Amino acid sequence: MNKLYIGKIVNTHGIKGELRIKDNLTKKQREEIFKVGSNLIIDEKSYKITSYRVHKDYDMVTFLGFNNINDVMFLKGKKVYKSKNEINLNNEDVLDSELITYKVKITDNIDGKILDIEETGNNYKILRLLIDNNEVLVPYHKDFVKIDSNKKEVIVKLL
């Protein structure tokens, strides 16, 4: 099964089996990934989402058959994945976990590599790139970064 990293279960919430997930998704990606009735993968096991809401900066989900805090405690601290087959995002909307695997092309015909994608605030991200053995930080913004998901490439325009 081909799966993508979504986030991590950081805690439970309340006593009815609700889980708190921390991720770096956009609002549009969250709507697609956390659809009620779809599945999330934790420890190679699939769990069906029965409810979803956003609380502060966390995604709150409950799973089918888990109605008590004691039923979900074993999931605390686990990484959450989603099957690629269940995600229908457009070409420009790529998850960070997938974007890290893309090739980097600099406009001066130089190749690079994405080391990390760091979140610096509300919906602000920075790409940490390795270019000619130098670490470079580039704002993850349409003026500097173009994504070609067909070629699995990131085209970066440096100043």
- Structure confidence by residue, pLDDT tens digits, 10-35: 999 999 999 999 987 878 888 889 99
Tokens 């605390």 correspond to 76
Q: Which structural domain range is residue 20 located in?
A: 3-89
Structurally, how many domains does the chain consist of? 2
Same domain, 50 and 109: no
- Structure confidence by residue, pLDDT tens digits, 103-141: 888 876 788 888 888 877 666 788 889 888 889 899 888
Cα 71 to chain center, whole Å? 26
Same domain, 67 and 102: no
Same domain, 20 and 63: yes
The answer to whether 71 touches 14, Cβ cutoff 8 Å, is no
The model's pTM is: 0.72
